[in-house]
Structure 1
Amino acid sequence: MNHSPQVALPQGMTRRDVIAVISEIGRDLNLSAAAVYILTKLIGSTSAKDWTEPGAEPVFYGSQETMAERCHLTARQMRSHERTLERCGLLIRDTKANGAREAGTGRGLVFTPLKACFADLLALRDQKRERTSRIKELKSLRSVRLRRMKENIARLSPEALDDEAIASTLSRFNAWPRSDRLHSLGIEQLEQHIQDATALCEELEELLQNLPESSCEPAVSFRSLLQEDNEKNPSVICNASVDERSAGKPAHSNLLKSEPSGSDDCLEKQDAGPSGVINPKLEALMQPEQLFKLASDDFQTALAARSNRITEEAIIDAAHDMLTPLGINYSAWRGACGAMGRHVAALCVLVLDANRDHPQTPVRNPGGFLRGMVRAHKRGTLNLTGSLIGLQRRRGW
Structure 2
Amino acid sequence: MSFRQIASAHHRENSRFHNGLPDGWNRDRFRQLCVCYAQIRGVSAQCIRTFEIIIDMISPCAFRDPSQEPFCYARQETLIAGRGVTDRTIHNHERELERIGLMERRLGANGARCKRKGLGLSLTPALNLIPEMLEADVQSKAEKKEHDELRGDRSRLCRYVKHSLAVLLLLPCPPESLEDMMEELQSWPRADKLKYLSLDALRSHVQAAHDHWKRIEEYVAKHGEISGEPEACFGSHIQDQIEETILSCNADGESSMSSAKASEPDCSGSGPDGPPNCLESNHPTDTASRKAQKLPRVNNRILYELASPELRMHIDIAGGGDQNSKPSLFAIETGVWSRLSEIGTNVSAWHAAIDRLTIMGAILAGVITDARLSDPRLPSVVNSGGYLRGMVQAEERGELNLISSFMGLLARRAREEEDGLPQDH
Name the TM-score class by shorter chain: 0.7 to 0.9
Give the alignment of 1:184-195 within 5 angstroms: 184-195=196-207
- Corresponding residue of 1:309: 324
Cα deviation for residue 219 of structure 1 reads 7.5
TM-aligned CA distance change 1:6 to 1:113, over 3 Å: closer
Match of 1:166 among 168, 172, 178: 178
TM-aligned CA distance change 1:182 to 1:89, over 3 Å: same
TM-aligned CA distance change 1:355 to 1:312, over 3 Å: farther
- Corresponding residue of 1:344: 361
Does the Cα contact within 8 Å between 1:91 and 1:110 map onto a contact in 2?
Answer: yes
Alignment partners' CA distance in 1, 2:28 and 2:313: 40
- Corresponding residue of 1:196: 208
Match of 1:13 among 15, 20, 25: 25
Match of 2:387 among 354, 364, 369: 369
**1:293-319 Cα distance to aligned partner (Å, 9 max, x none):** 322221122122233323252322211
Alignment partners' CA distance in 1, 2:315 and 2:100: 46
TM-aligned CA distance change 1:303 to 1:86, over 3 Å: closer
Give the alignment of 1:84-95 within 5 angstroms: 84-95=96-107
Cα deviation for residue 325 of structure 1 reads 0.7
Alignment partners' CA distance in 2, 1:188 and 1:321: 20
TM-aligned CA distance change 1:113 to 1:127, over 3 Å: same
Alignment partners' CA distance in 1, 2:69 and 2:42: 25
The structure showing larger relative contact order (alpha-carbon pairs under 8 Å, at least 6 residues apart) is: 1
For the pair 1:359 / 2:379, whether they are aligned, the reply is no
Give the alignment of 1:169-248 within 5 angstroms: 169-209=181-221, 210-211=223-224, 212=227, 222-224=242-244
Point out the more displaced range, 384-393 or 156-165: 156-165
Does the Cα contact within 8 Å between 1:166 and 1:207 map onto a contact in 2?
Answer: no
Aligned partner of residue 121 in structure 2, secondary structure: strand
**1:150-186 Cα distance to aligned partner (Å, 9 max, x none):** 3334445556585314333323322222212223443
Alignment partners' CA distance in 1, 2:149 and 2:388: 18
Aligned partner of residue 119 in structure 1, secondary structure: helix
Give, as a single letter, the amino acid of the residue that structure 2 aligns with 1:40: E
Q: Identical aligned pairs, as a percentage? A: 29
Aligned partner of residue 392 in structure 2, secondary structure: helix
Alignment partners' CA distance in 2, 1:161 and 1:136: 39
Cα deviation for residue 192 of structure 1 reads 3.1
TM-aligned CA distance change 1:143 to 1:335, over 3 Å: farther
TM-aligned CA distance change 1:368 to 1:152, over 3 Å: farther
Aligned partner of residue 31 in structure 1, secondary structure: coil
Match of 2:136 among 119, 124, 143: 124
Aligned partner of residue 363 in structure 2, secondary structure: helix
- Corresponding residue of 2:277: none
Cα deviation for residue 222 of structure 1 reads 3.8
- Corresponding residue of 2:75: 63
- Corresponding residue of 2:344: 327
**1:210-264 Cα distance to aligned partner (Å, 9 max, x none):** 3448886768994339xxxxxxxxxxxxxxxxxxxxxxxxxxxxxxxxxxxxxxx
Cα deviation for residue 80 of structure 1 reads 3.9
TM-aligned CA distance change 1:317 to 1:64, over 3 Å: closer
TM-aligned CA distance change 1:49 to 1:145, over 3 Å: same
Cα deviation for residue 106 of structure 1 reads 4.6
Does the Cα contact within 8 Å between 1:38 and 1:71 map onto a contact in 2?
Answer: no
Does the Cα contact within 8 Å between 1:152 and 1:204 map onto a contact in 2?
Answer: yes
RMSD of equivalent CA atoms: 3.2
Does the Cα contact within 8 Å between 1:140 and 1:330 map onto a contact in 2?
Answer: no
Give, as a single letter, the amino acid of the residue that structure 2 aligns with 1:316: E
Alignment partners' CA distance in 2, 1:27 and 1:169: 40
Give, as a single letter, the amino acid of the residue that structure 1 aligns with 2:351: R
Does the Cα contact within 8 Å between 1:154 and 1:219 map onto a contact in 2?
Answer: no
Alignment partners' CA distance in 2, 1:378 and 1:161: 43
Does the Cα contact within 8 Å between 2:107 and 2:120 map onto a contact in 1?
Answer: yes
Does the Cα contact within 8 Å between 1:319 and 1:349 map onto a contact in 2?
Answer: yes
Cα deviation for residue 43 of structure 1 reads 1.1
Report the TM-score when normalising by structure 1: 0.73
Give, as a single letter, the amino acid of the residue that structure 2 aligns with 1:309: N
Aligned partner of residue 56 in structure 1, secondary structure: coil
Alignment partners' CA distance in 1, 2:98 and 2:208: 46
Cα deviation for residue 112 of structure 1 reads 0.6
**1:48-80 Cα distance to aligned partner (Å, 9 max, x none):** 122223343111133332222254434444344
Alignment partners' CA distance in 1, 2:30 and 2:109: 30
Match of 2:146 among 116, 134, 156: 134
TM-aligned CA distance change 1:64 to 1:198, over 3 Å: closer
Aligned residues: 339
- Corresponding residue of 1:279: none
TM-aligned CA distance change 1:219 to 1:299, over 3 Å: closer
- Corresponding residue of 2:399: 381
Point out the more displaced range, 133-142 or 154-163: 154-163
Give, as a single letter, the amino acid of the residue that structure 2 aligns with 1:224: E
Aligned partner of residue 243 in structure 2, secondary structure: helix
Alignment partners' CA distance in 2, 1:161 and 1:328: 45
Cα deviation for residue 336 of structure 1 reads 2.7
